[in-house]
Amino acid sequence: MTRFLKSRMRSVMLVALFAAAFSLITTLSPVAQAKNIKIGFSMALTGALAGGGKQALEAMKIWRDDINAKGGMLGRQVELKYYDDQTNPKNVPGIYAKLLDVDKVDFIVSGYGTNLIAPAMPVAIDRDVVFMGLFGMNNNKKWKYEKYFQILPAGPDPAVGFSENWFKAIETFKPKTIALLSADAGFARNLKEGAITNAKRAGYEIVYNQNYPPKTADFTPIVRAVNAKKPDIFYIASYPNGSAGLVRAIAEVGTDAKAVGGGMVGLQFSGLMAGLGPNLNGILNYDFYVPEPTMALYPGASELIERYQNKVKTEGLKTDALGYYLVPWAYAYLDILGQAVNAVGKIDHDAIAEYIHKTEFTSVVGKVAFGDNGEWTTSRTIVVQYQNIKNNDLSQFAQPGVRKIMYPADIKTGSPVTFNSLR
Amino acid sequence: MEFTELLLNAIVAGILLGGFFAALSIGLSICFGLLDTVNIAHPTIIVGAAFCTFLLNDLLGIDPILAGLILTPVFFILGLAIYSMYYQFFEKQSAEALRGLAFFFGLLFIAEVLMIMAFGVDHRLVSAPYIGNSFTTALAGMEFSIPYRLLAAFVVASAMTVGLQVYLSKSFFGRATSAVHQDGMALSLMGVDPVMVKRIAFALGLATCGLAGALMIIVIPIEPAVGRFFIGNVFAIVVLGGLGSISGTLVAAFILGIAESVVSTFFGPSWAPAVSFAILLGVLAFKPTGLFGSGDTR
Amino acid sequence: MRFKFEIGCVLVLLACFIFTQADINRFYYFAGFAILQYVMISTAWNILGGYGGYINFGTAGFLGVGSYAAIALIEFYGAGIIEQIVAAGIIAGFLGLAIGFFTLRLKGVYFAIATLALAIVLETIVNNWDYVGGAAGVSILPPRKPELLGILIVDRKGDGIFQNNKEYLFFLMAVMAVMSVWIARTIEFGKLGRGLNAIKDNEEAAECMGVPTLKLKLVATVISGALMGMAGAIFPSYVTYVDPPTAFNLELAVNSLAMPMIGGTFTWIGPVVGSILLGTVQQVAIVTISSEINLLIIGVLLIFFVTVAPQGIVGWFMKKNK
Amino acid sequence: MSEALLKVESVTKNFGGFTALSNVTTEVLTGERFGLIGPNGSGKTTLINCISGTLVNEGGNIIFDGQELAGMKAHQRTAAGITRTFQIPRPFHSMTIMDNLRIPIEFVSGSSSSQNEMKDQAMEILETMGMAEKANEETSGLTQIELRKLELARAIAAKPKLLISDEAMAGLTGNEVDEVLDILIKFNEAGMTIIMIEHIMRAVMQFSHRVICLDAGQLIAEGTPDVIVKDKGVERAYLGV
């Protein structure tokens, strides 16, 4: 073949390839279904946060079925349009652009977690649409976007509000010194910063303040280093891997800290709870919903969770078997949007945002009101202490008495005792 | 006194952690160090074994380490299958290592997806009497607490390494493996089929995944993507130890384990990965073949 | 014709510019941006990996350094995007030089593992560098009305060249991608490219035939690293939120070597073909398949291509047309 | 004959505990055809690796054209005028034969020439070697003798003052050996100094003006071919008695 032909071939091939790539992308435009109201979102269905993402998605499907049974939004049926963001923020802007421009969704809500909400913010702001957030930590602090609302019940200053109740709960130990440890990851670092603020307010001396990398396999050296500082309390902001590793390391090395835990993500998940079993006893941690009798202030939550658990069983889903952690919240952030849209009576994002700002909603997570930056006006993270765990049987965690509520005072079902007294 | 106690505890913990690292790396030391197959999917295959261990433990109540032993022949057969495929498409055509790397990346993704479909994405743990307890002893006025689960990892990994080392250096097959690493031609002249030797050696490398998987789920909670966490570690260990040296791999695993543990104790855990990999870079800068590597750099 | 390729480059850029002016779905800019970014990354990777045969496994390190150099500049004095890109290119280039001195004496797999180690060390450093957000990540607010040399670039009301920041970033990305392809092609047909090829075929023979191997490898690493740094620099503005796991993602290392390999590593067009193909499949898969099957497809594609077309698609075509 | 082009002074090289070269001293004169013989493992290839710069000798000096070579990299030595071939041919297998030759031309001998001039220079050498018609072929289809010739042609393309030919005739037939010898003699007559390492005694004795013999890293004999052939030490080294 001559050189000329070769280069000709190349350019033809390149052009053909470009054309193919372009047409492949453009043919994605679906047939418009004018009738349904479409709610679009990205969700972590694979990757590090997939455990939470899948759980949230099932709850959202339950909400969709509920609202459709009740006649839908604005009298139209609701359809969920979602894509897997692979727990990678990089995929998020493209997904939301696709949802808004190609799928022509009527509303967008966020995926699960701070890191995956952040890259969607500018897209929402750019289109000036209402944006509901699911478990985002301070996502709107820089943007101050008036149409963003977030369901994590951590109060107006989420980083601080998240651990506020925990620090109130430990006052009973009259601590003087505190050790702080956090995972080297976005959410956990924010939690620890908030905890430092609370610790300083309370006048505790910080004797240890470190971060651990997410890939850490053995936590015993860290626990020993903390013990060497003899802290009265040990605040941990960790991700699931680390939470499990730390619980075990503490069980093995022991500690004299009176309170251990605080912001340990993952201890609310079925797999870890069952796997860790009795090693959890004594841990004092945050939570959002536990099967204690006083949680009746969340109307319909326990029925919702029961439906979710049945769904997991009957459909053979590979998601969290219990669903306490995210199900009510993933349901609620859609529910609030649905209520607002139906109250406004039309798709008018300005009016809907205004309505959400001025209304106190009642949903499966109780009464919700949004303040500045779309955060909750009050903090309602609850503090639980693990106790009476006998074995690795999962069903015990569905019963009251295992994760007793220590704070807030109005719903408490127990009082915190020192870590070692429950071992 | 307190400092000494902390330091000694950190070193002990580091050796135990090193044992765990060694268990993850030893199979790769054969596949990559001796056979030049860049099996980037190795940690992910270990996660697969860990999930199998979980099943055996959860459904049948089998002790995890026993489950690991049961899985060993299964992974041996898997190794035979993977190598046959690899040989067919790459080795036979003497393709560059780069192509093999892409192949194993593909394998990694497929394995992850299969695990997600079979087990979901939630974290899994196993229970056994030796998990969550530790052996505590006082020595010269200092207290040592040794978690049984890490001790188990250490003992099993050491036994595995010593066993493999003895097997590879003493048996005919083992010497054939080393020979195939240096000169495949000479081996065929001796009347041994080099492909067969490589296939069995690769399968042997994968067979270690059975036990390594059991140890993994004993030491850490697992989920399908957790294998990616260890890609850097296992390759660093094999290279640090020197390609082709099984005992070098063990020593390198101890070095990284101790480094991580000591740094975690005294300088803050978040610097641990930088220190571990800086050790690797430093060693490579001065001794390009790793600690126990032979002269040739490929 | 002498400058046929250069004319082609200009035409492609013109087409991209017209594309940004047409009023179409913004999704295409996002998808197009991602694909063009991969064109640039895999082209940059191929300069050292394809021509020189040195597998850089630390692509994520160079990209991450670029991204964080950009972030540091934004935090420091609100630098504009062009300054970010230039600075990131220089910093990543120097990084390439420094790394090259340490690791380029290593051969084959040792080099690959050393670069991987480097990426991990860099990620750890960034994790602990709170000025750029540290492990918590950082949000970037893009300027509402960026100007360049006194010309208004982006304005929603239409007074600027582009209506939207994304269109601007898309066009910038296209410029950089075309530029790197041009650089790669110039290297390939020049003395450097031939020297690198000789190194890939047999380094000792190349050295004995008078090729200054270390120098050429260093030059290639610097150019490749600088281009990767530049590709990384534009990333924070595009995604508006960066944390270390994203900036140093394993996916980057996989794609940067998988794409050239699927296309063909021996010529400039290989990485372009590979990244357009694999990049498009990935972009399409994300928004059509919402499950783990997405990853499965990538895995199967990888295995399929490396087994069926060992010389890449371009190599396969050339063989057929021989 | 004129003065020495290459001086090897007490060169020593160790691998771990093994001494590959011990205190070797010799010199090669300008325009000379110099033979280097010795049994397998005697250190022949190690010596030329030290001369060409792919290995670094621990002791002694190597002086080429009046210049001390210590610290110079292999490619710098090539630029200074020393080029070698490899015992097992190492062609650049992804390139055509023409492009193989263009590497040394572009990087050493003709770096200031235009692409067309380089092509002409390469072609000229290929014609001398009788390989002109294969110029645009890939190296994968070459026969053993063609690979040997390519190896030589590529080295010659660097226009060296000193060419070191490492067993360029191993595995060739009698006629082919003569063919290669003719080529080497032709270039020598054009002024190129040549060191030939060879196992084929007939070839090396016929070719060389002067021969040295290495055994176990030591120089055991030096002289004209006639002297070497009769040397008892050489005989012992080869026969192992």
In this predicted structure, what is the pLDDT of residue C70?
Answer: 94
Q: Which range of residues forms the domain containing residue D64?
A: 4-89+161-239
> Could you say which residues from 266 to 285 on chain A have a Cβ atom under 8 Å away from some Cβ of chain B?
266, 269-272, 274-279
Angstrom distance (rounded) from CA D185 to CA B73:
64
Mean of the pLDDT values across residues A252-268?
Answer: 93
* pLDDT one-digit tens code per residue, D134-152: 888 888 888 888 888 899 9
* pLDDT one-digit tens code per residue, C204-240: 999 999 999 999 999 999 999 999 999 999 999 988 8
Residue in C closest to A91 by C-alpha: C286
Contact (CB<8Å) A218/B270: no
Helix orientation angle between B64-86 and B148-170, rounded to the nearest 10 degrees: 40
For residue D52, being part of any structural domain is answered with yes
Q: Nearest Cβ partner of C109 from B97, B228, B280?
A: B97
Task: Select from C313, C208, C274 the least CA-distant residue to C40.
Answer: C274
The distance of C239 to chain B (nearest Cα, Å) reads 24
Beta carbons of C231 and C255 less than 8 angstroms apart? no
Residues A66 and A90 in one domain: yes
Q: Nearest Cβ partner of C124 from B97, B113, B273?
A: B273
In this predicted structure, what is the pLDDT of residue B262?
Answer: 94
- Chain A hits for B145, Cβ within 8 Å: 220, 252-254
Per the prediction, chain B carries an average pLDDT of: 87
- Chain A hits for C286, Cβ within 8 Å: 83-86, 91, 94-95
In this predicted structure, what is the pLDDT of residue B182?
Answer: 67
Chain A contact for B2 (CB, 8 A cutoff): yes
Which of helix, strand or coil describes residue A38?
strand
Contact (CB<8Å) D155/C209: yes
Phi-psi region at C42: left, alpha or beta (left = phi > 0; alpha = psi -120 to 50): alpha
Residues A274 and A391 in one domain: yes
Q: Can you list the positions of beta strands (E) in B4-114?
A: none
Chain C contact for D86 (CB, 8 A cutoff): yes
Angstrom distance (rounded) from CA A41 to CA D71:
64
For residue A212, being part of any structural domain is answered with yes
Is residue B291 very low, low, confident or very high in pLDDT (cuts 50, 70, 90)? Answer: confident
Neighbours, chain D (3 or more CB pairs < 8 A): C
- Per the listing, tokens 């959890």 go with A280
Return the CATH number of the domain spanning residue range C4-249: 1.10.3470
For residue A27, being part of any structural domain is answered with no
For residue A385, being part of any structural domain is answered with yes
Query: Identity (one letter) of the amino acid at B18?
Result: G
Q: Nearest Cβ partner of B220 from A245, A279, A317?
A: A245
* pLDDT one-digit tens code per residue, C267-312: 999 999 999 999 998 888 888 876 778 788 888 988 888 888 888 8
- Chain B hits for C301, Cβ within 8 Å: 106
Lowest mean pLDDT among A34-38, A234-238, B3-7: A34-38
- Interface B-C, measured as beta-carbon pairs within 8 A, has a size of 132
Phi, psi of A345 (to 5 degrees): 90, 0
In this predicted structure, what is the pLDDT of residue A32?
Answer: 47
**Number of domains making up chain A:** 2
Residues A164 and A259 in one domain: yes
Is residue B95 very low, low, confident or very high in pLDDT (cuts 50, 70, 90)? Answer: low
Is residue B51 very low, low, confident or very high in pLDDT (cuts 50, 70, 90)? Answer: very high
- Virtual CA dihedral for A359, A365, A366, A367, nearest 10 degrees? -20
Contact (CB<8Å) B123/A212: no
Distances in Å between the Cα of A99 and the Cα atoms of A146, A335, B220 are 21, 20, 38
* pLDDT one-digit tens code per residue, B25-35: 999 999 988 88
CATH of the domain at D55: 3.40.50.300
- Chain A hits for B11, Cβ within 8 Å: none
* pLDDT one-digit tens code per residue, A166-200: 999 999 999 999 999 999 888 888 899 999 999 99
- Interface A-C, measured as beta-carbon pairs within 8 A, has a size of 155
Chain C contact for D147 (CB, 8 A cutoff): no
Residues A197 and A125 in one domain: no
In this predicted structure, what is the pLDDT of residue B296?
Answer: 46
Is residue A28 very low, low, confident or very high in pLDDT (cuts 50, 70, 90)? Answer: low
The distance of C254 to chain B (nearest Cα, Å) reads 7
For residue A341, being part of any structural domain is answered with yes
For residue A303, being part of any structural domain is answered with no
Angstrom distance (rounded) from CA B296 to CA B288:
9
In this predicted structure, what is the pLDDT of residue A33?
Answer: 47
Residues A197 and A59 in one domain: no
Q: What proportion of chain C, given as a percentage, has pLDDT over 70?
A: 98
Residues A281 and A405 in one domain: yes
Contact (CB<8Å) A14/C35: no
* Residues 6 or more apart in contact with residue A246 via CB below 8 angstroms: A181, A219, A222, A223, A236, A238, A264
Q: Which range of residues forms the domain containing residue A367?
A: 37-153+311-374
Domains in chain B with CATH codes: 2-286 (1.10.3470)
- Per the listing, tokens 């193919």 go with A20
Per the prediction, chain D carries an average pLDDT of: 88
* Residues 6 or more apart in contact with residue A130 via CB below 8 angstroms: A107, A147, A149, A337, A340, A349, A352, A353, A356
More confident residue, C143 or B296: C143
Angstrom distance (rounded) from CA C76 to CA C70:
10
* pLDDT one-digit tens code per residue, B244-288: 888 899 999 999 999 999 999 998 898 988 888 889 888 888 887
Across C19-50, b (16+ Cβ under 10 Å) vs e yields bbeeeebbbbbbbbbbbbbbbbbbbbbbbbbb
Q: Nearest Cβ partner of C102 from B112, B235, B281?
A: B281
For residue D113, being part of any structural domain is answered with no
Contact (CB<8Å) B116/C292: yes
Lowest mean pLDDT among A12-16, B161-165, C113-117, D40-44: A12-16
Neighbours, chain A (3 or more CB pairs < 8 A): B, C
**Number of domains making up chain D:** 1
Q: Which of A46, A85, A192, A220 to probe the B interface (max B CBs under 10 A)?
A: A220
Structure tokens at C56: 């850089």
Angstrom distance (rounded) from CA B82 to CA B102:
14
Chains B and A touch, using 3 or more CB pairs below 8 Å: yes
Q: Nearest Cβ partner of C194 from D90, D103, D158?
A: D103
Contact (CB<8Å) A54/B120: yes
Chain C contact for B271 (CB, 8 A cutoff): yes
Angstrom distance (rounded) from CA B267 to CA B269:
7
Lowest mean pLDDT among A406-415, B207-216, C21-30: C21-30
Is residue C93 very low, low, confident or very high in pLDDT (cuts 50, 70, 90)? Answer: very high
Angstrom distance (rounded) from CA B266 to CA B260:
10
What letter would DSSP give residue A29? Answer: P
Beta carbons of A283 and A261 less than 8 angstroms apart? yes
Q: Which of C6, C25, C41 to probe the A interface (max A CBs under 10 A)?
A: C25
Domain boundaries, chain C: 4-249
* pLDDT one-digit tens code per residue, B34-49: 888 889 999 999 999 9
For residue A246, being part of any structural domain is answered with yes
Contact (CB<8Å) B124/A275: yes
The distance of C197 to chain D (nearest Cα, Å) reads 8
Is residue A339 very low, low, confident or very high in pLDDT (cuts 50, 70, 90)? Answer: very high
| Predicted ipTM > 0.85 | yes
For residue A13, being part of any structural domain is answered with no
Contact (CB<8Å) A97/C34: no
Mean of the pLDDT values across residues A409-413?
Answer: 90
Mean of the pLDDT values across residues A255-283?
Answer: 92
In this predicted structure, what is the pLDDT of residue C4?
Answer: 82
Residues A260 and A384 in one domain: yes
Contact (CB<8Å) D78/C205: no
Residues A234 and A283 in one domain: yes
CATH of the domain at A267: 3.40.50.2300
| B144 sits in which H/E element | strand B142-147
Q: Nearest Cβ partner of A269 from B123, B147, B149?
A: B123
How far is Cα of residue C318 from the mean position of the Cα atoms in its chain?
A: 26
Residues A407 and A284 in one domain: yes
Mean of the pLDDT values across residues B69-86?
Answer: 93
In this predicted structure, what is the pLDDT of residue A2?
Answer: 46
Chain C contact for D56 (CB, 8 A cutoff): no
- Interface C-D, measured as beta-carbon pairs within 8 A, has a size of 79
Contact (CB<8Å) B102/C121: no
First and final C-alpha spacing in chain A: 80
For chain B, how long is the longest CA-to-CA vector?
Answer: 63
Maximum mean pLDDT: which of B51-55, B196-200, C255-259, D65-69: B51-55
